Amino acid sequence: MIDVVVVSVEETKSVYYLSPNSLDLKKGDHVIFENESGLFSGVVCKPTYSEKKNNLVLPLKNVLRIVGETDKKTINKNKNLADKAMEDAKKYSKSLDLDMNFVDSYLNFDGSQMFLSFMADDRVDFRELVKKLAQKYKMRIELRQIGVRDKAKKVGGLGPCGLFLCCNSFLTDFDSVSINMAKNQMLALNPTKINGNCGRLLCCLGYENDNYTELKKSLPKLGLMMDTPEGMGKVVDLDIFGNTYSVDLGDKGIYKFPGEKRDGKN
């Protein structure tokens, strides 16, 4: 077992598994840590705990220290510089006739690298833009083209449920979501109901999909012709949680029948 602390970076919503480096860290502490791209600032989202070594990618990078007053000034300075760089990027891209919609920008803590994300309908040759920015800011510049889901993750907002977007609050990766999940949960295939703020299928469609799949195993498929105690008919409705299904028996009307037993219960 090895001591681990989980730190999240506000700008990217990424999480890192790090060595606490013998520091007494609590949830919500702002810290400085190292990774492959230099030094970054982040927030402890899970304090020190023990984890099996084979569940981690070793060696772990270290948390260097808890953010102090001098560090706060550096972070604010970096934010102001990143904002200015994004304005310059917009100006330069326009002069270079590049169709780019910039979303955000940020620096790593040590100011050695700047990251800018943008959206575009097509692939963009931004080499000249990077050269201009690097010449002005004297640091490594990395431009990242992102999609609509990534933009929603960065910008945030409220979902149709009235809560903050999952991608902006706790999701760290985008899992695959398909229209079959909406069908499996018998949802109306109305884009305004099953699409999120990004215009893509709601991430939450995947949360309960496995449960629906398991519960439907005790029920017949919709549209199936089947022989019932009341005669032959067509399955026209399913009550997944009530474990019943309705069959249209023609002149006899629609009858409801119980599904197969679940864990010894009807």
pLDDT tens, residue by residue, 138-195: 999 999 999 998 888 888 889 888 999 998 888 877 889 999 999 999 999 999 899 9
Query: CA angle, corner 260, sides to 258 and 264, nearest 5?
Result: 110
pLDDT of the residue at 50: 93
List of the chain residues with pLDDT < 50: none
This prediction has a pTM of 0.73
The three-state (H, E, C) secondary structure of 134-145, written as one string: HHHHCCEEEEEE
Same domain, 60 and 95: no
Task: Report if residue 92 sits inside a domain.
Answer: yes
Q: Are 37 and 113 in contact (CB under 8 A)?
A: yes
pLDDT of the residue at 264: 54
Task: Report if residue 266 sits inside a domain.
Answer: no
Task: Report if residue 264 sits inside a domain.
Answer: no
Give how many domains the chain has, as a whole number. 4
- Cα dihedral across residues 44, 45, 46, 52: positive or negative: negative
Same domain, 229 and 190: no
Same domain, 104 and 134: yes
Query: CA–CA separation, 94 vs 237, rounded Å?
Result: 56
Same domain, 226 and 248: yes
Q: Is 139 left (phi over 0), alpha (psi -120 to 50) or beta?
A: beta
Same domain, 142 and 201: no
Tell me which residue range forms the domain holding 101.
73-146
pLDDT of the residue at 243: 93
Last residue of a domain, one of 28, 45, 66: 66
pLDDT of the residue at 251: 87
The pLDDT tens digits for 88-102 are 999 999 999 999 999
pLDDT of the residue at 265: 53
Last residue of a domain, one of 45, 66, 87: 66
Task: Report if residue 93 sits inside a domain.
Answer: yes
Same domain, 41 and 56: yes
Last residue of a domain, one of 207, 224, 242: 207
Task: Report if residue 171 sits inside a domain.
Answer: yes
